[in-house]
Structures are given as C-alpha cells and as structure tokens.
Amino acid sequence: MACTSEELGFRQGDEIEVFYQMPFPEDHGNERVELVGDRWILSASPSLGANRPRIGWTQRWLPAIVTDVVTGATIAGDKKVEAIKFRWEQLQWYDWATGDHISITKDPNALVSEVSLQSVRARTANAWNVHANMPSTFSGVYRRRSEATVGGCEVSVSFIIFQWGAAKIPIDYDSHSWGEEGSTISNRFIRTFFKEAVTPKLAHDYEVLTVFIQHSDEFPRLSPEFLLSVCRGRIISAFYFLWPIQGLQSYGEMRPTAAAYVDSELLFQLVARMEACGISTCWPHPLQLWKNLTSKEWMVSLCICPQFQIPLTTRLSKSLVLQNPLRAAFLALETLKLLKKDRQALSADCGEAMSEEVVAKLGYSYEGVDVKMVKGQQQLAEAMYFLLTQPNYTNDCVYVQERVQTALEARCFLVNGKLVQILYTRFARIDGNGYVRDYEKESAEDRARRDWFFDDHAAWQNALEQIQRLSQRWNLWLMAQASESTVSVRIDYLLEYISPGRAKVWTCEVGELGTQKGAILLR
C-alpha cells in the first residue's frame, strides 16, 4: 500500500529548516583551491562573501523549501522517509577560499541538495523574513543584495570562529608532535572540537559564524557590533584559532610567515573590542590572561617565587642588545647569578652555583622555533642578537633563562584543574646553532620511566607528586588571572633526576590553550 506525501511528514513546497554544515577545510595544502569545491559560506551581503575578511555561516539552521522526499524500503505496507530533497531560500553563498559566488558553478541545481531527516525540521514561526528572490533563469547572475535582515531561529550557543582563511598558505604541523587532533590552529583541531565536544552536548542547538582571516590588516575592519547583531544564541562566545606574534606578515620572501600567525597588537585590539561588546573569549583565554601567557611575562614575574619552580629568568630590552650585545649578555648572566644566590639563601636544596649554560628565547613564539641553547657570554650575545634581528620580527625583548639539566619533559593536560593526561618527550640532540632537534615521544609511563629515568620507581613517584602539587598551584594562579576558571590548559614540566629516590620538577611552559566555562567544556 502506497503512502501519501502528507503521511510522510513533509511534502513538496513545505517550508522547512535544514541544519547546514560546511565541510571543514583541509590542512597540509590539501585544499584544492583551483577546483570549485564544497566551501560555501552563507554571507549576509555580497561584500562580506566576496571581500576579505570573508564572513559567513558555516553551521546553522537555514530556511529551505521541500522539492521531494526520498523513501526507503516498504515495511508492513508503509514507506519510510529516509531523506528530504530541498532548495535553499537564501542566495548569498560564497566560496570562503576564493570569494566566488555560487553562480560560478553554472549549475541550475546549485541550491538544491539532499539531507537526512535528522537535519530537517518544520519552519520556526516568525523567525525568518525570506525574500522571494530566486532568479528566473540560471544563465543570469543571482541577484546580489543584502540578506542581513533575513533573521534566524534562537539557539543555545552562537560560536563566532576566527580561523585561517588563506588556503594557498596552508596550515602545516608535525603529527608526531601534536598528535591526532592536530595543532591548536589547524582545521583538524577545529573539526575535532565540534565533533567530540560540541555536537554530543548540543546536537544541532547551536550556530557557527566564521570569520576567515588572511592578513592582520583585516582585524580593524571588523565590527563586533555587527557580528553580535546577526547571532541568535542565548550565549555568544568567540573562539580565536590563530597565533599572535610580534612580527610582520610577509609572503613574498624566502622565509614567508607561517599560516595563522597574525599581528598580536591588531588581534588583541579586536579581542578587546569584542569583549567590550559582551562577547566572551572562550578560546584560548580572556584577553589579559592570553597576553600574559603568550608574551611569557609570567616567567620573569614568578621565577623568584619558589613554589612555582620556574628556572630563573631575566628579560633584556631590544635596545640594550642592539647597542652592545656582549654587555647585554654580561648583564643577563650577572643577574641570573644574583637571583641564584637569593634562591640559595631561601633554600639549601637549590643546586650549585649558577652555570653559564642558559637558554635564550622569545615571547609570542610557538613550537620551540625561537629557543636557543647557549653557553657563555659570547654565544649568548650572538643568540640574543640573532633572535631579535630576524627578518620581519618586531619583538621588543628577549628572555634569558637558566638551563636545567633534565632527563625528560612531561606535557601535562589539565581539565577543570585536574591532570587527565601526560605525554612524555625528550630531545635527542642540540644542533650547532643551539636549536633542539629530534624530539622523542612516549605516552606509556612505564617505558618513559624505564628508558629515560633510570627505572627508579621512587624517584618517578616523587616527580609525579611534585607535578600534582605544581598543577594545583598553577590552577590557583590561573584563577587569580581570570576568576572564571580555566577549563583546560597544558603545562610542560621538566623532570630532573637528582639521586636514587629523589627528583626535581621545573615548570617549563604554561601554554595558551583552554576554554572558559562561559561556553562549552572540552570534556
């Protein structure tokens, strides 16, 4: 017995809403920009879709019209609806990578698609103001006009995502180092976030407005007030999957700027304007904490506080290094010696006198790119001068830190202040220029202890207890910086083997990684 279209729940011509999900972009240069792909974002106006920065909906309930129903096998005489064929009612679809309008496809069915029933529902009453603006023929260009007043239906959360949008300058990362989720600016990481953290909690009760950034000069042109006005979430939060640097973006030189590296000053000015509109920063951190972590200012302000176990650190201005690198190196080493004497006066268990083996490093830098291991005044002078005079770098200072003779590093992932995972690493060598090379990684605790810590169970347990205490201390510090508790953070510790049964743990890095509780928990 056949069933009518009415009995199937939807029929041709019905006004519906379909949850649109744009496929996530590809990393490692796999996005085929030269081909017309499935990269369509729905923009509020032609200028927002064609010009940069390109802004549009990448996940949202959108208005559509049923064109047909797709039925499956007949069961007990009834046909089961498996999918809905429909036509989108909005026209301003643009390719986020090229800025091309969807009419470039020359496909009369470009706005026709098919979706499973899980992504279809009846049209929400009084939520939409859709114009009857379909073109009479596809040979003509779709009408280009603003659809900013079309409206939308209320959802629990609006995500405003800022991510890299220059497809020809792809995001690359070392999977061995970052793991299967990818780096924290990668498309793979963003996809994992929505697949494993958002969808299981919210289903389709959210929307995503994505801002695709190609260059730092786009930040001043963005209007937080406009972004806020088009969102329909009861909670509206911003996520910035970008890495702020002190440097100039350059893509026509022998060493082009890496993908998703953006000017920290211009980015942070935008974040300040966004937060001034009441749009909270949920990734990676609220502005003040984000600045503190990214700049690495926490190292010099807390290294004299023994409870944080930070290797002694001093900071030198760029002008001092440029004027006289040798004198700057001498001052840095002398300062570290004074700090060491002070620490020895406070505790007898703080090692020998200050060594001339130190580390020179920059803030606003990632993946260990601007970290050099050196020994003595001459090498330190050369390292500082080199780091501060690299092409397109605008860093105004350099940090010099005592080098701790450690056996391995523990990369600790904390969620809601609790340690949930540890990845153990160590570097195999330091090259002739002072850079760390050939990281080795181990996720199994027993093998890391056996191979890298003399298989000393007592010393290993001592190190783990120190990690727990330090992590609790750092969680309190994070709460002091931003009273809304940080949901997730990565802290890297250096493990030093002292003697049988004894270890010492040092804080190496507190990463700008996390979400705030104003939106969605990672776990």
Give the model's confidence band at 454: pLDDT under 50 very low, under 70 low, under 90 confident, else very high.
very high
Q: Is residue 193 predicted with pLDDT exceeding 90?
A: yes
Give the model's confidence band at 514: pLDDT under 50 very low, under 70 low, under 90 confident, else very high.
low
Predicted local confidence at residue 249, as pLDDT: 82
CA distance 59 to 45: 17
Is this model's pTM higher than 0.95 or not? no
Give the model's confidence band at 347: pLDDT under 50 very low, under 70 low, under 90 confident, else very high.
confident
- Among 141-150, 241-250, 322-331, 341-350, the minimum mean pLDDT is found in 141-150
Predicted local confidence at residue 76, as pLDDT: 46
The DSSP result for 184-223, as a single string, is TTSHHHHHHHIIIIIHHHHTT-EEEEEEEES-GGGGGG--
Model pLDDT for residues 52-77, shown as the tens digit of each residue: 999 999 999 999 999 998 876 444 45
- φ and ψ at 160, to 5 degrees? -100, 110
Helix boundaries (H) for 399-492: 445-452, 457-481
Q: Is residue 485 predicted with pLDDT exceeding 80?
A: no
Give the model's confidence band at 312: pLDDT under 50 very low, under 70 low, under 90 confident, else very high.
very high
Q: Which candidate, 288, 119, 141, 102, places its Cα nearest to that of 203? A: 119
Predicted local confidence at residue 354, as pLDDT: 72
**C-alpha separations of 358 from 330, 336, 363 in Å:** 12, 10, 16
Provide mean pLDDT across the span 81-87: 87
Predicted local confidence at residue 136, as pLDDT: 41
Q: What's the whole-number average pLDDT of the chain?
A: 88
Q: Is residue 308 predicted with pLDDT exceeding 90?
A: yes
Predicted local confidence at residue 437, as pLDDT: 81
SS3 46: helix
CA distance 291 to 296: 8
Provide mean pLDDT across the span 125-154: 71
Predicted local confidence at residue 351, as pLDDT: 62
Q: Is residue 335 predicted with pLDDT exceeding 80?
A: yes
Model pLDDT for residues 428-446, shown as the tens digit of each residue: 788 888 888 877 888 899 9
Q: Is residue 390 predicted with pLDDT exceeding 90?
A: yes
Could you tell me the two tokens for 434? 């002072």
Give the model's confidence band at 350: pLDDT under 50 very low, under 70 low, under 90 confident, else very high.
low
Predicted local confidence at residue 518, as pLDDT: 40
Backbone dihedral region for residue 379 (phi beyond 0: left; psi -120 to 50: alpha; all else: beta): alpha
CB atoms within 10 A of CB 76: 5
Q: Is the peptide bond before 391 cis (omega within 30 degrees of 0)?
A: no
Model pLDDT for residues 203-219, shown as the tens digit of each residue: 999 999 999 999 999 99
Provide mean pLDDT across the span 338-364: 85
Give the model's confidence band at 19: pLDDT under 50 very low, under 70 low, under 90 confident, else very high.
very high
Nearest-Å Rg of the Cα atoms of the chain is 27
Q: Is residue 517 predicted with pLDDT exceeding 60?
A: no
**C-alpha separations of 370 from 322, 398, 399, 409 in Å:** 18, 10, 11, 18
